[in-house]
Chains A and B, each alone.
Chain A
Amino acid sequence: MSRQFKNPILNWVEYRLPIISFVDDSVGSGYPTPKNLNYWWNFGSLAGIVLVIMLATGIVLAMHYTAHVDHAFNSVERIMRDVNYGWLIRYIHMNGGSMFFIVVYIHLFRGMYYGSYKAPRELLWMIGVFILLAMMATAFMGYVLPWGQMSFWGATVITNLFSAIPLVGDAIVTLLWGGFSVDNPTLNRFFSLHYLLPFVIVGLVVVHLWALHEHKSNNPLGVDIKGEQDLIPFHPYYTIKDLYGMAAFLLFFMFFVFFAPNFFGEPDNYIPADPLVTPAHIVPEWYFLPYYAILRAFTGDFLVYQIISLGGLLMTAKLAGVLAMFASILLLLLLPWLDGSKVRSSKFRPYYAMAFWVFFIDCLVLGYIGGKPAEGAFIVIGQIATAYYFAHLVVIIPIVSRWERPKPIPESISAAVTDAHASKAAE
Chain B
Amino acid sequence: MKINILKTTIAALAIATVALTSASVQAAGGAPKPPKQNWSFSGLFGTFDRAAAQRGFQVYQEVCAGCHAMDLMSYRHLAGIGFSEDEIKAIAASVEVTDGPDDDGEMFERPGIPADRFLSPFPNDKAAAASNNGKVPPDLTLMTKARFNGPDYVYALLTGYKEEAPEDIEVPEGGSYNTYFPGHIIAMAPPLDDEAVEYTDGTKPTLAQHASDVTTFLAWAAEPELEERKNLGIKVMLFLLVLTGMLYAVKRQVWRDQH
Taking Cβ atoms with an 8 Å cutoff, the residues of A that contact B are 35, 38-40, 74, 77, 80-81, 87-88, 91, 232, 236-237, 240-241, 243-244, 247-248, 250-251, 254-255, 257-259, 261-264, 266-268, 270-271, 280-281, 283, 286, 289, 360-361, 364, 367-368, 370-373
Shortest CB–CB separation between residue B221 and chain A, in angstroms? Answer: 10
Check if B229 sits within 8 Å of A247, measured CB to CB: no
Segment 10-52 of B: residues with Cβ below 8 Å from A: 12, 15-16, 19-20, 22-24, 26-29, 44
Measured CB to CB, the closest approach of chain B to A20, in angstroms, equals 22
Cβ–Cβ < 8 Å partners of A259 in chain B: 44, 230, 233
Distance to closest chain B CB from A277 (angstroms): 10
Given contacts A88-B229, A368-B23, 16 further A-B contacts (CB under 8 A): A81-B224, A88-B232, A237-B255, A240-B250, A241-B251, A244-B251, A251-B244, A254-B233, A258-B229, A262-B145, A267-B146, A270-B146, A360-B12, A364-B16, A368-B19, A371-B26
Cβ A38 vs Cβ B5 within 8 A: yes
Binary flags per residue of B147-181, CB closer than 8 Å to A gives 1, else 0:
11010000000000000000000000000000000
**Nearest chain A CB to B143's CB is how many angstroms away?**
8
A372 CA to B19 CA in the complex, in Å?
A: 11
Q: Report Cα–Cα, A237/B254, bound state, in Å.
A: 7
Query: Are A267 and B148 interface neighbours, CB within 8 A?
Result: yes
Q: Which residues of B contact A257 (CB under 8 A)?
A: 233
Closest to B28 in A: A280
Q: Which residues of A contact B19 (CB under 8 A)?
A: 364, 367-368
User: CA separation between A388 and B241, bound complex, in Å?
Assistant: 41
Are the C-beta atoms of A267 and B145 separated by less than 8 Å? Answer: yes
Quick one: closest B residue to A239, CB to CB? B254
Expressed in whole angstroms, the Cα–Cα distance for A256 and B138 within the complex equals: 28
Could you write out 10 A-B pairs with CB less than 8 Å apart?
A: A77-B141, A81-B225, A247-B247, A250-B240, A258-B233, A271-B138, A367-B19, A368-B22, A371-B22, A373-B27
* Complex Cα–Cα for A275 and B28 (A): 21
Q: State whether A268 touches B146 (Cβ < 8 A).
A: yes
Q: Flag whether B142 is at the interface (Cβ < 8 A).
A: yes
Say if the beta carbon of B124 comes within 8 Å of chain A.
no
Alpha-carbon distance A262/B148, docked complex (angstroms): 10
Residues on the B chain within 8 Å of A35, using CB: 258
Given known contacts A257-B233, A280-B29, A371-B22, A247 and B243 CB-to-CB distance under 8 angstroms: yes
Chain B residues, Cβ within 8 Å of A250: 240
What residue of chain B has the Cβ atom nearest to residue A74's Cβ? Answer: B72
Residues of B within 8 A of A372 (CB): 23
Q: How far is the CA of A385 from the CA of B24 in the complex (A)?
A: 20
| B236 on interface, CB distance cutoff 8 Å | yes
Residues on the A chain within 8 Å of B232, using CB? 88, 258
Q: How far is the CB of A36 from chain B (nearest CB, A)?
A: 9
A165 to B133, CA, bound (A): 42
A338 to B251, CA, bound (A): 39
Identify which of A244, A263, A264 gathers the most chain B CB atoms within 10 Å of its CB: A244
Bound Cα distance from A367 to B19, whole angstroms: 7
Q: Are A236 and B72 in contact (CB under 8 A)?
A: no
Indicate if B3 sits at the interface (CB-CB under 8 A).
no
Task: Let me know if B182 is at the binding interface, CB within 8 A.
Answer: yes
Q: Which of B16, B27, B142, B237 contacts A254 (CB 8 A)?
A: B237
**Please, which residues of chain A bring their CB within 8 A of the CB of B141?**
77
A23–B12 CA distance with the chains assembled, in angstroms: 36
**Are B229 and A248 interface neighbours, CB within 8 A?**
no
- The answer to whether B147 touches A267 (Cβ under 8 A) is yes
Query: Considering residues A91, A232, A280, which has the most beta carbons from chain B within 10 angstroms of its beta carbon?
Result: A280
A-B pairs, top 7 by smallest CB distance, nearest first, are A258-B233, A371-B23, A270-B146, A247-B244, A244-B247, A87-B225, A270-B145
Q: Does B108 contact A (CB under 8 A)?
A: no
Known contacts A237-B258, A247-B243, A267-B147; A258 and B236 CB within 8 A of each other = yes
User: A residues within 8 A CB of B142?
Assistant: 77, 270-271
**Which residues from chain A contact B150 at a C-beta distance below 8 Å?**
267
Note all chain A residues with C-beta closer than 8 A to B146: 267-268, 270-271
- Using Cβ atoms and an 8 Å threshold, which residues of chain A touch B77? 81
A38 to chain B: which residues have CB within 8 Å? 5
Residues of B within 8 A of A247 (CB): 240, 243-244, 247
Quick one: which of B182, B244, B255 contacts A280, CB cutoff 8 A?
B182
Q: Which residues of chain B have C-beta atoms less than 8 A from A87's C-beta?
A: 225, 229
Q: In the docked arrangement, what's the CA distance between A244 and B145, Å? A: 35
Please give me the residue from chain A that is nearest to B147 by CB atom.
A267
CB closest chain-B residue, reference A421: B259
Would you call B20 and A286 a contact (CB within 8 A)?
yes
For the complex formed, measure the closest distance between the CB of B231 and the CB atoms of chain A, giving whole angstroms.
9
Measured in the bound complex, the distance between the Cα atoms of B27 and A371 in whole Å is 11
Is the pair B229, A251 in contact by a Cβ cutoff of 8 Å?
Answer: no
Please measure, in the bound complex, the distance between the C-alpha atom of A302 and the C-alpha atom of B160, giving whole angstroms: 43
The CA-CA distance from A268 to B146 in the complex, in Å, is 5
* A367, B23: Cβ atoms closer than 8 Å: yes
* Shortest distance from the beta carbon of B156 to any chain A beta carbon, whole Å: 15
CA distance A247 to B251 in the complex (A): 12
